[in-house]
Amino acid sequence: MSTTTLTPTPTDTPVAAPAAKLHDEGGIGLRNNLRHIGALVRRNLLQIKKDPESMFDALLMPVIFVLLFVYVFGGSVGGSMGGGRQEYLNYLIPGLMAMMGMNIAMAVGSGVNDDFRKGVMDRFRTMPIARSSVLVAKIVVELGRMMVATLILLGMGFALGMELHGSVLGLIAAIGLSAAFGAAIMWIFILLGLAMKTSQAVQGMGMLVMMPLQFGSSIFAPPTTMPGWLQAFTDYNPLSNLADAARGLMMGTSLGHSVWLTLGWAVAITAAVAPLAVSKFRKKS
Amino acid sequence: MTRIDKNPRNGGTGGNAVEVRGLVKHYGETKALDGVDLDVREGTVLGVLGPNGAGKTTLVRCLSTLITPDAGTAVVAGFDVVKQPRALRRTIGLTGQYASVDEKLSGWENLYMIGRLLDLPRKKARARADELLERFSLTDAAKKAAMEYSGGMRRRLDLAASMIGSPAVLYLDEPTTGLDPRTRNEVWDEVQRMVAEGATVLLTTQYMEEAEQLANELTVIDKGRIIARGGVNELKAKVGGRTLQIRPSDPAELAPMAQALRETGLDGVAGAQAVPDEGLLYVPILSDEQLTAVIGLLGTRGFSLAHVATALPSLDEVFLAITGDKATVTDTIPEEVAA
């Protein structure tokens, strides 16, 4: 215990101790920041370890989606694509990779919201750590969960007979691209999680936004049979870009500008939303 | 009753660890803080006494950089809360009304995480976690999730978490609200130990008894304004002394006892009142001598006493004495009951 660092200050003109300037000007420093993020990632991982049920979505969602879509729609959609269930499987799996990121990202929002209503967030915010590190740690862990979901999805795909027509490098690039886009989307949900009162509201709002975006895209079916206005929407829908990019990288179909468009969306969303989310986090009381 | 100075070692050091001037925080129409001035001398405990909604928590949140005041200045350990929040965060510890630990993590995991966030090397963080768990008698529960802790254990873990960085200034925001008397005493013991080791403490409370136990000086706050300040004894003198509660062996003797005490004509004691419903006699006393005199008198008159207790004035009575107005104590029911 040291009280010797205390500096009595005149009442009207508070003057900082010399050490103060050093700290506040120098900020936290990259190495310390990384260590803080590490400690907070560990916290989130321990939470998952103690509550394995929180992994159920990442573990089961890919299985259920693949089974449902392949066996319910596979025959008819695949048929109209000039193939069959097999054709649809090759079409669907890269699209679902794009979707996984969104659904996992939604959980970040309610997670942040839950965290905030507990006292521990007050402790973090009164500690000498960058306030963004709490959010960054959350994103790191969610990206990990997303990777688990993606691997299960791919495993399901291969088990049901998906064929890879692109290179392994292309597959890795597709995974990376989904992760980059997923991380960008997470900032949106973090912002929602901070702005809304309850985690249920975050979930509900998330579903409202997600459903049209996911189904109004090229994830589940080729947009060629959709009406013109919807096609216009799917063309600009970033999820279509991501699904097309993943498909191109994995299946060797035409890439067009999809990779660059997806990266552009990811960068633009992050640049626009992350500062808002961090500032909201800082000001929230 | 003689008051023992809580921290003689620190008596007389001149500097102020906390200096607040004209602090204002409004929430819309509500003036949570309406121009608060206060000082906490280094190494002492300042008790901030007030009912719910008086602005105590807003004050603590301003001083711990969780919210930004609308006006005024606050300097803690030499750092300005608005201009130097980062440096300030290195010198403070906060234990709020609600335990600020991660409930899913074990006690040890919580303390280790906080050590790492405070830039302790792994080995040191581990040692510090062990040390603090030991000190707060939580070693047996080290591996249990904080969720499974009793109210008192959680509060102790929270105190331990606040101590990891050996903060120069500690804020305790209603540290015992909702705790049973036994766990309350445990928390008090810990706070007294921290102070003995040199910490400066700003303590908010709704309980006169807690302020009496822990604080060197008191500030009474209501509706965002300071309405009284001074030493604990000064304030007590202003408010009046304790109340003696006597239960006679035979309830029928209540009235004769009250009569006998009224006849003494002593200031205070003469205000004795019998409350037959409770079977109790309430006697205001202003000194230890009066206490002795009352018991002595009742003894020589041959009354038989079953139970005797003294009580400090309640927050209500303090407010009544200071403002002539009833305090708006809206919530005195503990929000959580310790197991």
Buried b / exposed e over A13-43, threshold 16 CB at 10 Å, is ebebbeebeebbeeebeeebbebbbebbbbb
- Ranges assigned E (strand) in chain B: 16-27, 30-41, 45-49, 71-76, 79-80, 92-95, 169-173, 200-205, 217-222, 225-231, 242-248, 273-275, 280-285, 305-311
Contacting residues of B for A1, CB less than 8 Å apart? 166, 168, 194, 197-199
Contacting residues of A for B90, CB less than 8 Å apart? 23, 128
pLDDT interval class at B52 (50, 70, 90): confident
Q: Is the Cβ–Cβ distance between A174 and A259 less than 8 Å?
A: no
Shortest alpha-carbon distance between residue B91 and chain A (Å): 9
Q: Max alpha carbon distance in chain B (Å)?
A: 71
Contacting residues of B for A50, CB less than 8 Å apart? 104-105, 145
Is the minimum CB–CB distance between B75 and chain A shorter than 8 Å? yes
Question: Would the pLDDT of B180 be above 50?
Answer: yes
Q: Is the Cβ–Cβ distance between B186 and B156 less than 8 Å?
A: yes
Most confidently modeled range among B11-20, B108-117, B287-296:
B108-117
Shortest alpha-carbon distance between residue A275 and chain B (Å): 19
The arithmetic mean of pLDDT across residues B8-29, rounded, is 77
The pLDDT mean for chain B works out to 84
Question: Would the pLDDT of B199 be above 90?
Answer: no
Kindly state whether residue A78 falls inside one of the protein's structural domains.
yes
Q: Is the Cβ–Cβ distance between A141 and B82 less than 8 Å?
A: no
Q: Which residue has the higher pLDDT, A77 or B2?
A: A77
Q: Which listed CATH number (3.40.50.720, 3.40.50.300, 3.30.2010.10, 3.30.460.10) goes with B8-238?
A: 3.40.50.300
Kindly state whether residue A127 falls inside one of the protein's structural domains.
yes
Is the minimum CB–CB distance between B122 and chain A shorter than 8 Å? no
Is CATH 3.30.70.100 what the domain over B242-311 is classified as, yes or no? yes
A152 Cβ contact list (under 8 Å, min separation 6): A58, A59, A62, A63
pLDDT of res. A8: 40
Query: Which amino acid, residue B52?
Result: N
Among A198-207, B94-103, B141-150, B316-325, which is the least confidently predicted range? B316-325
Q: Which residue has the higher pLDDT, A78 or B204?
A: B204
pLDDT of res. B238: 67
Neighbours of B255 (CB within 10 A): 12
Is the minimum CB–CB distance between B148 and chain A shorter than 8 Å? no
Contacting residues of B for A47, CB less than 8 Å apart? 102, 104-105
pLDDT of res. B316: 67
Rounded CA separation A121/A284 (Å): 11
Residue pLDDT, tens place only, B165-179: 889 999 999 988 888
Interface of A with B (CB under 8 A): 1-3, 5-9, 11-12, 14-17, 19-20, 23-24, 27-28, 32, 35-36, 38-40, 42-43, 46-47, 50-51, 118-129, 285
pLDDT of res. A101: 78
First and final CA of chain A: distance in angstroms? 30
pLDDT interval class at B122 (50, 70, 90): very high
Q: Which of B40, B75, B112 best probes binding to A when mutated, by most A CB atoms within 10 angstroms?
A: B75
ipTM of the prediction: 0.79
Most confidently modeled range among A116-120, B110-114, B253-257:
B110-114
Is the minimum CB–CB distance between B14 and chain A shorter than 8 Å? yes
Among B44-48, B146-150, B282-286, which is the least confidently predicted range? B282-286
pLDDT interval class at B325 (50, 70, 90): low
Mean pLDDT in order along chain A per 10 residues (285 residues)? 40 39 56 92 93 87 90 85 85 88 82 81 88 89 92 93 86 92 91 87 84 87 88 89 90 84 93 91 74
Question: Would the pLDDT of B2 be above 60?
Answer: no
pLDDT of res. A23: 45
CATH 3.30.70.100 domain range(s) in chain B: 242-311
- In chain B, positions 269-308, which contact chain A (CB-CB < 8 Å)? none
Neighbours of B280 (CB within 10 A): 18
pLDDT of res. B138: 92
Shortest alpha-carbon distance between residue B82 and chain A (Å): 11
Is the minimum CB–CB distance between B91 and chain A shorter than 8 Å? yes
- In chain B, positions 306-335, which contact chain A (CB-CB < 8 Å)? none
Do A14 and B104 make contact, defined as CB atoms within 8 angstroms? no
pLDDT of res. B131: 94
A243 Cβ contact list (under 8 Å, min separation 6): A94, A95, A97, A98, A217, A218, A219
Number of domains in chain A: 1
Q: Which of B19, B87, B103 shows the shortest C-beta gap to A118? A: B103
pLDDT interval class at B14 (50, 70, 90): low
CATH 3.40.50.300 domain range(s) in chain B: 8-238
Do B86 and A40 make contact, defined as CB atoms within 8 angstroms? no
State both tokens at B42: 């280094």
First and final CA of chain B: distance in angstroms? 33
- Which domain does A172 fall in, by range? 28-283
SS3 B169: strand
Kindly state whether residue A22 falls inside one of the protein's structural domains.
no
The candidate with the shortest Cα–Cα distance to B113, out of A216, A133, A203, A107, is: A133
Do A119 and B65 make contact, defined as CB atoms within 8 angstroms? no
List the B305-311 sheet strands across, edge first.
Answer: B273-275, B280-285, B242-248, B305-311
What pTM was estimated for this model as a whole?
0.77
Backbone angles phi, psi at B330, to 5 degrees: -90, -25
Nearest residue of B to residue A23, measured between CA atoms: B87
Rounded CA separation B325/B107 (Å): 44
Rounded CA separation B222/B228 (Å): 9
Contacting residues of A for B145, CB less than 8 Å apart? 50
Kindly state whether residue A15 falls inside one of the protein's structural domains.
no
Q: Which of A19, A24, A127 shows the shortest C-beta gap to B117? A: A127
Residue pLDDT, tens place only, B265-316: 777 788 888 888 888 998 888 788 888 989 999 999 999 999 998 887 766 6
Q: Is the Cβ–Cβ distance between A181 and A242 less than 8 Å?
A: yes
Kindly state whether residue A8 falls inside one of the protein's structural domains.
no
Residue B181 C-alpha from the chain's centroid? 13
Do B87 and A5 make contact, defined as CB atoms within 8 angstroms? no
